[in-house]
Amino acid sequence: MLARPKGGRILETFTEPKEFVENARYEDERREALAALVPASIDEPIVDMISGFATLGHCFTLQCCYGHFICRSEQDSYTLESIPRGWDGPVRYRIAYIAFCMQNSDRGRMFRQALARIPETAPDYVQFGSADWFWDQWPNTYVLQAMPIADRLKDETILDSLEALQTQEARGLFFVKLGELLAAELRQH
């Protein structure tokens, strides 16, 4: 993904994970992010997950998307529908991701390590990294995303039907593993 922030400079938004730095504003940033959280703006399948992460003191979410598979030109680009059975045409895929800001603490570092292991479930489709344009505003920001590895720097791509089905399956595993991680974090909380 590429972004053009104020000032016109283009930043690569998905990069290798950066190392933790001190962030004296973490608590204020977390409070501001939680105050701005609007559950109605979150894709329905992940509302409860995002709300659950909001209860943890060592992280907060900045943005998220469930991921969208658009098969027909007239289809809503925010559709939550699965790829239709038997579909053999191209599919426009809009990336599934969650961007987290983490506290530079033992719990934050353990959480980061756990997130970094999630791509092991589908290494050709799930990535963990940093995002420069988030990091510039909120240090210690990390992104977990489901996108075919060849397109990992994009926020949407066109896939053939077979790769779209594989991406859809990987997206499912991505959210299952994220849900398991949330459950483990809540047990420790």
The reported pLDDT for the residue numbered 132 is: 83
The reported pLDDT for the residue numbered 133 is: 81
Distance CA(158)–CA(182), nearest Å, equals 31
The reported pLDDT for the residue numbered 95 is: 95
Number of domains in the chain: 1
User: How far apart, in Å, are the Cα atoms of 91 and each of 28, 169, 188?
Assistant: 41, 14, 40
Domain that holds residue 37: 2-188
**96: domain CATH number?**
3.30.1960
- The list of the chain residues with pLDDT below 50 reads 1-12
Distance CA(103)–CA(81), nearest Å, equals 35
71 Cβ partners below 8 Å, 6+ apart? 83, 84, 87, 89, 91, 92
The reported pLDDT for the residue numbered 13 is: 58
